[in-house]
Chain A
Amino acid sequence: GQQVMQIPQYQHVQEGEDFTTYCNSSTTLSNIQWYKQRPGGHPVFLIQLVKSGEVKKQKRLTFQFGEAKKNSSLHITATQTTDVGTYFCATGANNLFFGTGTRLTVIP
């Protein structure tokens, strides 16, 4: 199956600072999905990107799909304590493979 690597593995930010996580693949991806998993919870879908160079925004979250469709990023502007959790990218033409995740800690 397709593999995607995420960096960083962990990120600690002060509340109000920005946060970015990156998802990278050595092969062209058909799509990228992003999920958030709160501590003790299950993954919850955030968004799907399918087009080269696509950019989507959800309030303070900005998602990008690279021009070559081999990487993606999730950027959070002015983090809040409610943003705490692990952010996963996932991809797959038929099934769905998850990246390793970036665990975000927001210090109040």
Chain B
Amino acid sequence: DTGVSQDPRHKITKRGQNVTFRCDPISEHNRLYWYRQTLGQGPEFLTYFQNEAQLEKSRLLSDRFSAERPKGSFSTLEIQRTEQGDSAMYLCASSLGPAKNTEAFFGQGTRLTVV
């Protein structure tokens, strides 16, 4: 297994457009997390899945953001009507679960620039 992969690595979009990012976790990992990170800040929690169930969503996540993990494998994060403030690195991570938190493996991230 090559680890967590994210696609695309970079995305430039015009304000108001919709974007979708994909994350392929490590195959045997049940948990999948999405984070947003801006320059000089720590990863900000967005949401996480246990298999296909979305168990928690940050209060900071507006209704323009939606995430899915339809078959409990890969996940997508969609941002509708993008705004300049959405520009950030979007990180995906996966880990074994659910009994207790274990090591989270991060992907390389998708860098979004909204112009």
Contacts and interface: CB of A to CB of B under 8 A. Distances in A.
A1 B45 contact: yes
Interface residues of A, number: 23
Contacts of B101: 30-31, 33, 48, 92-94, 96
Given A33-B103, A48-B101, A94-B101, A43 B43 contact: yes
B62 interface: no
A49 B76 CA distance: 31
Contacts of A98: 35, 42-45
B56 interface: yes
Interface string B35-56: 1000011111100100000011
A85 interface: no
Contacts of A50: 100
B21 interface: no
Q: Is the interface of A mostly helix, strand, loop or mixed?
A: loop
A90 B106 CA distance: 13
A54 to B, nearest CB: 15
Interface string B50-76: 000001101000000000000000000
A94 B56 contact: yes
Interface of B: 33, 35, 40-45, 48, 55-56, 58, 91, 93, 95, 98, 100-109
Interface of A: 1, 30-31, 33, 42-45, 48, 50, 88, 90, 92-101, 103
